[in-house]
Amino acid sequence: MDGVFIRVEVAGSARSDAELARRLEEACPVDIFAATAGGVRIVDENLDECVLCELCLDAAPPGAVRVVKLYDGGAALER
Ligand code: SF4
Which pLDDT score is estimated for 57? 98
Question: Tens digits of per-residue pLDDT, 26-74?
Answer: 999 999 999 999 999 999 999 999 999 999 999 999 999 999 999 999 9
- DSSP symbols for 25-64: HHH-TT--EEEETTEEEE-GGGGGG-----HHHHHS-TTS
Ligand 1: atom nearest CA of 65 is 6
Whether 75 is in the pocket of ligand 1, judged by its Cβ within 6 Å, is no
Residue from 6, 26, 50 whose mutation best tests the ligand 1 pocket (most atoms within 8 A of CB): 50
Distance 63 CA to ligand 1 centre (A): 15
Are 62 and 72 spatial neighbours (Cβ–Cβ below 8 Å)?
Answer: no
Residue 1 has pLDDT above 80, yes or no: no
For the entire predicted model, the pTM comes to 0.95
Q: Which residues, listed in sequence order, are joined to residue 41 by a DSSP beta bridge?
A: 34
Which pLDDT score is estimated for 2? 84
Q: In whole angstroms, what is the distance from residue 56 CA to residue 29 CA?
A: 9
∠ CA 58-62-65, rounded to 5°: 70
